[in-house]
């Protein structure tokens, strides 16, 4: 069974202290080791400073900070990491220092310990081979700042065992990282195109193609980023850029080697001067050049199977905060234009060949297709992962259709006994893609929304009624459509991080994928109404006590819980008593009190403060959505599920046609909507 209870980090510098902070923040015990006590203390004070800043910005409470610090054990004695499940090295980028360290760790650590390197420029295999546990050795490449940037490149080398990869991915998930799986290759995935992006900027300057402000502006426009390459280098250090380009150049050829201007600037010890005016006439050629380099290199790394197109895009979006990944950018530019700008690069640099994947795609004349839903078999369990963590796995047409496809594949496989649905990254599934709704309302295509919702319902019914056991793994936040997907499964395994909520009435609509129907069957119409009206979150513990969650376990116990559930029958809607704790919520959901809430009046049957708070919360919701939601819940109570679904679907056009739905959906996440009650 996968167990990650204690992690060691070697090196308390910029990266090490940030990695330690993140691990401790996410609830895992961590040991931080450096050569001297004063370095450990420096690392601790960096962490304390950042946490204190977090308290000021109301990201953490004092109590959370205290708990986080309580999980960190600092030491200058390497043996303190002996019993860790995973030890991550973040010491100087020096081959000898790292090699000596790993030999030492190999002797000190128990046999279960996985050793990981956070190197940026060496091969993972070089250090793996220094140890007697090459199968329990992996690269874990973090991005600055590691407590804030969610991306983690997980880099197995040829001999890393499947178990080590699995445990490393679990460790990543447990400390809130979104992993991409990358081959042990120079620059891994992200730096492979990010470093040439910086380097090409300096080449364009060297050629006097444009000045710094123009190149900055073109980069920002091409990738929709906040800082251009020169400003980024000023912030992260010009020496790092030179070092990274030199290593890539040595491994991959002159195209990747640092421009003379970059080397010269480094020698001056000064930052780049960003001042000056933008020459608009030069923006397009500079953007073409950036696109040619970045998209060309991204295609080359996929050709070499360093990473998938989806992971390459995730790397750019999560790690570099680009608005779109390279392959999404290629689709936006079109394959012909992409081919043209990359051709210009391959003509300019003789050692840069046109990647095969671009030749093939050009021949089809079509955009790239992305796979956002993965299916993997493990013994007789099929794992379906919604893998769009950059959008918290939100449901849209593509996701639902790929989910349908993967579900059919798993269902039709006679070797599969149970199908587990999960989300990649920190969230399970955060609702549906709101932009899709807005776009269709604007285009007067509410029928398309109804068709999409009907397809979703059909899939959810298949999930609920499948002859295979269907299990949702609710190990993170879920909202709206995501909570409804979990509810459609025959069983739910949750970890304490799991939660559900129905925020729809706050954005002018009602939960449209059976959430109200299934909540009614679990806990009765009163609680279904209460949660639909208030949008209050249901914690995993509450969902367990209500019988909605079948098993609540710690992350390390998930595999055993899934196995156990795969073997037994679950009567998901079995009769049950609602625990006393929920009495006031049940009362609040009674028809007479719902009527009062709709009128903005506090029900007298419940404690005054609870009534007042509920009136206030419900006051921010869309009145029509509330009314229709309550009517749907009442109308479907005794119907079989398939007919209940029709009742819900029957009210969909009506709600999406309201002014409040447009107001709620189009302002979502930006400002509080102003509902008119129409
Ligand atoms: N800075 C980045 O943006 C970035 C990003 C990804 C990866 N990395 C990699 O992370 C690693 C660390 O980088 P950094 O920026 O944190 O460096 P840093 O210089 O800030 O910190 C390194 C720390 O390691 C300690 N150290 C050195 N040798 C040690 C040993 N034998 N045992 C214990 N501690 C030792 C040092 O005392 C120092 O505190 C490097 O390999 C770097 O390439 C850096």
Is residue 247 lining ligand 1, measured as CB closer than 6 Å?
Answer: no
Q: Tens digits of per-residue pLDDT, 464-496?
A: 999 999 999 999 999 999 999 999 999 999 999
Query: Residue 390: its pLDDT value, please?
Result: 87
Query: Residue 258: its pLDDT value, please?
Result: 98
653 pLDDT higher than 60:
yes
For ligand 1, atom 25, name the residue with the nearest CA.
Answer: 11
Is residue 91 lining ligand 1, measured as CB closer than 6 Å?
Answer: yes
Query: Residue 276: its pLDDT value, please?
Result: 97
Nearest by Cα to 317 from 189, 444, 421, 495 = 189
Helix (H) or strand (E) holding 583: helix 583-588
Q: Looking at ligand 1, which atom is closest to the CA of residue 98?
A: 31
Q: Are 200 and 222 in contact (CB under 8 A)?
A: no
By CB neighbour count within 10 A (0-12 exposed, 13-18 middle, 19+ buried), where does 547 fall?
A: middle
Q: Tens digits of per-residue pLDDT, 364-379?
A: 999 999 999 999 999 9
Return the best residue to mutate from 9, 45, 76, 92 for the ligand 1 pocket (most ligand atoms within 8 A of CB): 92
**49 CA from centroid of ligand 1 (Å):** 19
How far is 73 from 412, CA to CA, in rounded Å? 50
Please give, one letter per residue, the 3-state secondary structure of 592-640.
Answer: HHHHHHHCCCCCCCCCHHHHHHHHHHHHCCCHHHHHHHHHHHHHHCCCC
By CB neighbour count within 10 A (0-12 exposed, 13-18 middle, 19+ buried), where does 281 fall?
A: exposed
Is residue 188 lining ligand 1, measured as CB closer than 6 Å?
Answer: no
Furthest-apart CA atoms within the chain: distance in Å:
80
536 pLDDT higher than 60:
yes
How far is 428 from 481, CA to CA, in rounded Å? 11
**46 CA from centroid of ligand 1 (Å):** 14
C-alpha angle 142-144-145 in degrees, rounded to nearest 5:
110
Q: Looking at ligand 1, which atom is closest to the CA of residue 93?
A: 41
pTM: 0.88
Report the pLDDT averaged over residues 386-411.
95
Report the pLDDT averaged over residues 613-626.
97
C-alpha distance across the termini of the chain, in Å: 54
Is residue 142 lining ligand 1, measured as CB closer than 6 Å?
Answer: yes
Is residue 241 lining ligand 1, measured as CB closer than 6 Å?
Answer: no
**14 CA from centroid of ligand 1 (Å):** 7
**10 CA from centroid of ligand 1 (Å):** 8
**20 CA from centroid of ligand 1 (Å):** 13
The order of strands in the sheet holding 373-378 is 373-378, 381-386, 418-423, 469-474, 491-494, 551-552
458 pLDDT higher than 60:
yes
Q: Give me the active site residues, please.
A: 120, 141, 153, 191
Report the pLDDT averaged over residues 19-37.
97
1 pLDDT higher than 50:
no
Q: Tens digits of per-residue pLDDT, 79-112?
A: 999 999 999 999 999 999 999 999 999 999 999 9
Is residue 118 lining ligand 1, measured as CB closer than 6 Å?
Answer: yes
**594 CA from centroid of ligand 1 (Å):** 59
Within 8 A by CB and 6+ apart from 546, the residues are: 522, 523, 527, 538, 578, 579, 582
By CB neighbour count within 10 A (0-12 exposed, 13-18 middle, 19+ buried), where does 123 fall?
A: middle
One DSSP character per residue, 93-131 reads S-HHHHHHHHHHHHHHS-TTPEEEE--SSS-HHHHHTTS
Is residue 97 lining ligand 1, measured as CB closer than 6 Å?
Answer: yes
Report the pLDDT averaged over residues 521-533.
98
**105 CA from centroid of ligand 1 (Å):** 16
Return the best residue to mutate from 13, 47, 105 for the ligand 1 pocket (most ligand atoms within 8 A of CB): 13
Q: Looking at ligand 1, which atom is closest to the CA of residue 17?
A: 16
Q: Are 565 and 418 in contact (CB under 8 A)?
A: yes
567 pLDDT higher than 70:
yes
Task: Supply the mean pLDDT for the chain.
Answer: 96
How far is 633 from 75, CA to CA, in rounded Å? 58
Q: Tens digits of per-residue pLDDT, 270-329?
A: 999 999 999 999 999 999 999 999 999 999 999 999 999 999 999 999 999 999 999 999
555 pLDDT higher than 90:
no
**87 CA from centroid of ligand 1 (Å):** 14
**Distances from the Cα of 411 to the Cαs of 18, 466, 496, 564, in angstroms?**
43, 8, 29, 19
Please give, one letter per residue, the 3-state secondary structure of 501-561.
Answer: CCCHHHHCCCCCCCHHHHHHHHHCHHHHHHHHHHCCCEEHHHHHHCCCCCEECCHHHHHHH
Is residue 119 lining ligand 1, measured as CB closer than 6 Å?
Answer: yes
Peptide bond into 145 cis (omega under 30): yes
Q: Are 230 and 272 in contact (CB under 8 A)?
A: yes
Q: Looking at ligand 1, which atom is closest to the CA of residue 97?
A: 31
For ligand 1, atom 15, name the residue with the nearest CA.
Answer: 14
How far is 440 from 456, CA to CA, in rounded Å? 17
Is residue 5 lining ligand 1, measured as CB closer than 6 Å?
Answer: no
556 pLDDT higher than 90:
no
Q: Looking at ligand 1, which atom is closest to the CA of residue 104?
A: 31
Share of the chain above pLDDT 70, in %: 100
Is residue 44 lining ligand 1, measured as CB closer than 6 Å?
Answer: no
Is residue 283 lining ligand 1, measured as CB closer than 6 Å?
Answer: no
Query: Residue 2: its pLDDT value, please?
Result: 52
SS3 of 474, please? strand
């Amino acid at each position: 069974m996968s167990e990650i209870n204690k992690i060691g980090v070697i090196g308390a510098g910029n990266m090490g202290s940030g990695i330690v902070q993140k691990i401790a923040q996410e609830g895992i015990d961590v040991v931080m080791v450096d050569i001297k006590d004063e370095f450990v203390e420096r690392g601790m004070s960096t962490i304390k400073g950042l946490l204190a800043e977090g308290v000021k910005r109301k990201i953490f409470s004092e109590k959370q900070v205290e708990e986080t610090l309580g999980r960190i054990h600092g030491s200058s004695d390497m043996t303190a990491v002996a019993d860790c499940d995973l030890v991550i090295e973040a010491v100087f980028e020096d081959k000898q220092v790292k090699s000596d360290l790993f030999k030492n760790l190999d002797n000190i650590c128990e046999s279960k310990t996985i050793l990981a390197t956070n190197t940026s420029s060496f091969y993972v295999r070089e250090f793996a081979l220094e140890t007697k546990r090459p199968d329990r050795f992996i690269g874990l490449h973090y991005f600055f700042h590691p407590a804030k940037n969610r991306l983690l490149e997980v880099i197995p080398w040829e001999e890393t065992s499947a178990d080590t990869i699995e445990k490393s991915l679990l460790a990543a998930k447990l400390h809130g990282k979104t992993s991409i799986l990358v081959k042990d290759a120079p620059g891994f995935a992200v730096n492979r195109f990010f470093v040439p992006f910086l380097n090409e900027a300096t080449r364009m300057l060297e050629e006097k193609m444009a000045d710094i402000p123009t190149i900055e502006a073109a980069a920002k426009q091409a990738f929709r980023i906040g800082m251009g390459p020169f400003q980024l280098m000023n912030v992260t250090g010009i020496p790092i850029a030179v070092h990274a380009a030199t290593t890539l150049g040595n491994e991959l050829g002159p195209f990747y080697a640092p421009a003379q201007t970059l080397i010269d600037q480094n020698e001056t010890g000064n930052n780049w001067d960003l001042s000056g005016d933008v020459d608009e006439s030069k923006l397009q050629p500079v953007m073409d050049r950036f696109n040619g380099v970045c998209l060309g290199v991204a295609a080359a790394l996929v050709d070499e199977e360093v990473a998938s197109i989806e992971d390459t895009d995730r790397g750019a979006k999560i790690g570099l905060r680009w608005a779109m990944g390279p392959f999404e950018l290629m689709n936006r530019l079109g394959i012909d234009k992409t081919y043209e700008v990359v051709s210009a690069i391959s003509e300019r640099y003789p050692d840069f060949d046109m990647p095969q994947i671009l030749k093939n795609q050009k021949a089809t004349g079509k955009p790239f297709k992305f796979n956002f839903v993965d299916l993997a078999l493990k013994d007789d369990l099929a794992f379906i992962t919604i893998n769009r963590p950059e959008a918290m796995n939100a449901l849209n047409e593509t996701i639902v259709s790929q989910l349908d496809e993967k579900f059919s594949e798993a269902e039709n496989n006679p070797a599969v006994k149970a199908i587990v649905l999960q989300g990649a990254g920190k969230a399970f599934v955060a609702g549906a893609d709101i932009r899709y709704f807005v776009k269709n309302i604007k285009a007067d295509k509410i029928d398309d929304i109804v068709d999409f919702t009907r397809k979703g319902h059909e899939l959810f019914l298949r999930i609920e009624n499948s002859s295979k056991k269907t299990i949702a793994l609710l190990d993170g936040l879920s909202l709206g459509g995501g909570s409804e997907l979990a509810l459609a499964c025959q069983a739910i395994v949750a970890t304490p991080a799991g939660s559900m909520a129905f925020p729809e009435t706050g954005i002018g609509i009602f939960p449209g994928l059976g959430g109200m129907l299934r909540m009614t069957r679990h806990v009765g119409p009163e609680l279904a109404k209460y949660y639909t009206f208030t949008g209050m979150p249901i914690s995993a513990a509450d969902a367990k006590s209500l019988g909605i969650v079948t098993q609540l376990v710690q992350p390390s116990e998930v595999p055993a819980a899934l196995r156990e559930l795969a073997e037994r029958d679950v009567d998901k809607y079995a009769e049950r008593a609602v625990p006393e704790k929920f009495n006031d919520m049940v009362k609040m959901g009674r028809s007479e009190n719902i009527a009062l809430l709709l009128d903005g009046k506090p029900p007298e049957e419940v404690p005054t403060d609870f009534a007042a708070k509920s009136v206030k919360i419900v006051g921010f919701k869309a009145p029509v959505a509330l009314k229709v939601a309550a009517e749907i819940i009442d109308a479907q109570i005794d119907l079989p599920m398939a007919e209940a679904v029709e009742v819900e679907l029957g009210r969909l056009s009506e709600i999406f046609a309201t002014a409040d739905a447009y107001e709620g959906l189009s302002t979502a996440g930006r400002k509080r909507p102003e509902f008119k009650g129409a």
